[in-house]
């Protein structure tokens, strides 16, 4: 076992130990030991060679547990700790509101030992009488449980896209790979996906199989030449294990490999499509769009006398056609090139020539500095914006109630204004002084009206009590929308992909009132959020709302998240004129000033 896997096993055993009622102080000590091992620059064998206590918190017992793991695996460790709670029960602790005591009651009193069993108990009403689980808490539990179960079977885009790009780079470096590219749901920027898909033009598919095999055990399956589909619920290895597995299937023209591999502390399923280089564009297009998009393209090709065959050949008048790229294929169908993000459902109806592009973005209107929880100074933020060719940037640090983020008091807001004035004097771009003000649980804003009205831009966001009842939370956000100082509602639904469900809000009512008052909903480009998402973006567009695409950057690399935001905006069918930060600076400022006079 490598060090990361050992720490994962130690933490898993510690969670089970907590559920069994272990002393909380000893549980915490074991957690600190696991953290110390992970943070140590030493390899696990070097750690084992040290005397007990050489690494703070890593004593004789921890070292003995590691040796037990190496010699007898997880079952040996659990036996040593006399743990009898089923391993799957540890996942219950990943649900908000379920701590060791509640989990112990579920496991030992009710026999609920896994998230799936919990879902069944919720559906049957078996939890209604459990102390501490009232109606609102049960409703929240249902939402969060759905997120957890989806995450077990899917990979969020924030993990999927970097993984896919890294694998493409590895494949392109191989001599027998002519071309490799991301395809499928990741290329369309779907928020969650069951598999991370790649398409590969490879001169030796046996080598590709060996490449997959090098990542772990290779499992060959076939049904007589047709494709084999192994889903997450099949009898393959547990998705949470660090040992990759591979499922192989092939057709005459197309080989498919499916790999379960560790990534970002969890597991992701990666599917590779291998095709002849002459048919790469067809395979790439077929594996990118949904069935609706493919049917439309195939029908239009047929109208133009071109047959798109099942083995991805393009045939006209008995002659096989060769295309260089997807654009050529679209031209044969009499269509413009469709960006991957709109190759779903009714996306074919978009005016693709008007869809938002990265080059349309003139600035970032939601950035944090080291005045709150960002890592960059104001000057460094400005330099990062200048490096990206922006015309303007907004400094929008947190307000005072978010103490963990070092939120600004009224006095610190005014102190920050003085520093911004100094940086403006030497900056080539325009700097807006803004704030991300907390919407408090009762609907009030976290700073006095006078302070807020002095600022160029006010983004109001919910950061606490996200699971209030629907009516209460809707009224809370509505109060912020109706505040005269507020321009934008930040990350409206509060979702964290694969980790936290969206808030239960009446978004239709909020959208209607926001449009009436000139308030805008942010598209937060952080790939863990992508909030608001495509459905609400389309509704906002239909009602005439301008949407700012913001990175919510806290350090320099996060400025690059703008790409995710632009791609999500395309999923929402937004054109350049639908996006606030495509406006020139003077028009932007006029719009912000006008809102306060509505």
Question: What's the rounded mean pLDDT across residues 143-153?
Answer: 88
CB 205 within 8 A of CB 255: yes
Q: Among 529, 525, 524, 555, which residue's Cα sits nearest to residue 374?
A: 555
Q: Is the per-residue pLDDT at 412 higher than 70?
A: yes
Q: What is the DSSP string of 552-593?
A: -BSSGGGGGGHHHHHHHHHHTT-BGGGBGGGS-HHHHHHHHH
Q: Is the per-residue pLDDT at 297 higher than 90?
A: yes
Question: What's the rounded mean pLDDT across residues 212-219?
Answer: 59
Instruction: Quote the tokens at residue 529.
Output: 């959020």
Which CATH code is given to the segment(s) 358-595?
A: 3.20.20.140
Q: What is the DSSP string of 394-457?
A: EEEEEBTT-GGGTPBPHHHHHHHHHHHHHHHTT-SSEEEEEEEEEB-TTS-BSS-HHHHHTSSE
Which CATH code is given to the segment(s) 156-228+238-352?
A: 3.30.460.10
List the alpha helices (DSSP H) in 85-134: 100-104, 110, 115-124
Per-residue model confidence (pLDDT) at position 595: 86
CB 436 within 8 A of CB 490: yes
Q: What is the pLDDT of residues 446-477, one digit of tens each?
A: 999 999 999 999 999 999 999 899 999 999 99
Place of tokens 């991957």: 340
Identify the band that residue 242 occupies on the pLDDT scale cut at 50, 70 and 90: very low
Which CATH code is given to the segment(s) 3-153?
A: 1.10.150.20
Please give the mean pLDDT across all residues of the chain.
Answer: 90
Per-residue model confidence (pLDDT) at position 1: 77
Q: How far apart are CA 328 and CA 10, in angstroms?
A: 54
Q: Would you say the CATH fold of 358-595 matches that of 156-228+238-352? A: no
Q: Is 418 exposed, middle or buried (0-12, 13-18, 19+ CB in 10 A)?
A: exposed
Question: What's the rounded mean pLDDT across residues 21-28?
Answer: 92
The structural domains of the chain, with segments of one domain joined by +, span 3-153, 156-228+238-352, 358-595
Q: Is the per-residue pLDDT at 254 higher than 80?
A: no
Give the residue with greater pLDDT, 143 vs 526: 526
Per-residue model confidence (pLDDT) at position 205: 84
Q: What is the pLDDT of residues 350-405, one digit of tens each?
A: 999 999 999 999 999 999 999 999 999 999 999 999 999 999 999 999 999 988 88
The angle formed by the CA atoms of residues 402, 476 and 547, to the nearest 5 degrees, is 80
Instruction: Quote the tokens at residue 268.
Output: 């992701």
Identify the band that residue 215 occupies on the pLDDT scale cut at 50, 70 and 90: low
CB 589 within 8 A of CB 557: no
Identify the band that residue 86 occupies on the pLDDT scale cut at 50, 70 and 90: very high
Q: How far apart are CA 523 and CA 515, in angstroms?
A: 15
Give the residue with greater pLDDT, 216 vs 109: 109
Q: Is the per-residue pLDDT at 349 higher than 90?
A: yes
């Amino acid at each position: 076992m490598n060090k990361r896997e050992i720490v994962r096993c130690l933490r898993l055993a510690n969670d089970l130990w907590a559920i069994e009622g272990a002393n909380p102080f000893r549980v915490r000590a074991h957690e600190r030991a696991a953290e110390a091992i992970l943070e140590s620059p030493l390899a696990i064998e070097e750690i084992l060679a040290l005397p007990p206590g050489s690494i703070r918190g890593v004593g004789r017992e921890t070292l003995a547990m590691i040796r037990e793991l190496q010699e007898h695996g997880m079952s040996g460790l659990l036996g040593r700790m006399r743990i009898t709670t089923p391993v799957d029960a540890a996942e219950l602790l990943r649900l908000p509101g379920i701590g060791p005591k509640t989990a112990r009651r579920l496991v030992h009193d009710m026999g609920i030992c896994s998230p799936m069993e919990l879902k069944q108990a919720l559906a049957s009403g078996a939890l209604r009488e459990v102390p501490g689980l009232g109606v609102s808490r049960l409703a929240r539990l249902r939402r969060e449980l759905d997120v957890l179960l989806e995450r077990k079977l899917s990979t969020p885009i924030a993990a999927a896209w970097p993984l896919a790009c890294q694998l493409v780079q590895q494949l392109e470096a191989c001599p027998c790979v002519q071309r490799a590219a991301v395809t499928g749901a990741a290329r369309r920027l779907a928020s969650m996906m069951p598999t991370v898909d790649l398409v590969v033009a490879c001169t030796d598919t046996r080598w590709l199989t060996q490449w997959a095999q090098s990542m772990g055990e290779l499992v060959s399956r076939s049904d007589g030449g047709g494709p084999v589909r192994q889903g997450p619920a099949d009898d393959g290895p547990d998705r949470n294990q660090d040992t990759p597995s591979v499922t192989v299937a092939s057709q005459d023209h197309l080989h498919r490999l499916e790999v379960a591999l560790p990534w970002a502390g969890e597991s992701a399923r990666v599917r590779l499509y291998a095709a002849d280089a002459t048919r790469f564009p067809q395979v790439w297009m077929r594996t990118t769009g949904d069935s609706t998009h493919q049917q439309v393209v195939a029908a239009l090709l047929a109208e133009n006398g071109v047959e798109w065959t099942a083995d991805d050949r393009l045939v006209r008048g008995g002659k096989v056609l060769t295309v260089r790229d997807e654009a050529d294929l679209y031209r044969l169908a009499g269509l413009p090139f469709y960006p991957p993000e709109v190759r779903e459902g009714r996306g074919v109806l978009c005016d693709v020539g008007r869809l938002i592009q990265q080059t349309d973005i003139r600035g970032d209107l939601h950035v944090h500095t080291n005045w709150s929880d960002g890592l960059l100074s104001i000057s460094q933020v400005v330099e990062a914006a200048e490096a990206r060719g922006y015309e303007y940037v907004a400094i929008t640090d947190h307000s005072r109630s978010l103490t963990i983020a070092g939120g600004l008091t009224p006095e610190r807001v005014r102190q920050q204004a003085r520093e911004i004035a100094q940086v403006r004097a030497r900056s080539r771009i325009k700097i807006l002084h803004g704030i991300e003000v907390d919407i408090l649980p009762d609907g009030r804003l976290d700073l006095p009206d006078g302070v807020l009205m002095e600022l160029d831009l006010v983004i109001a966001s919910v950061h606490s009590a996200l699971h209030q009842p629907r009516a209460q939370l809707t009224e809370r956000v509505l109060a912020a929308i109706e505040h005269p100082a507020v321009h934008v509602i930040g990350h409206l639904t509060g979702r964290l992909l694969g980790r936290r469900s969206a808030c239960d809000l009446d978004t239709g009512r909020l959208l209607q009132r926001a449009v009436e008052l000139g308030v805008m909903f942010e598209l937060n480009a952080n790939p863990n959020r992508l909030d608001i998402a495509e459905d609400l973006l389309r509704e906002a567009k239909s009602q005439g709302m301008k949407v700012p695409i913001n990175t919510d950057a806290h350090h320099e690399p996060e400025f690059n998240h703008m790409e995710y935001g632009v791609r999500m905006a395309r999923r929402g069918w937004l054109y350049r004129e639908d996006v606030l930060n495509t406006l020139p600076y003077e028009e932007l400022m006029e719009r912000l000033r006008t809102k306060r006079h509505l």
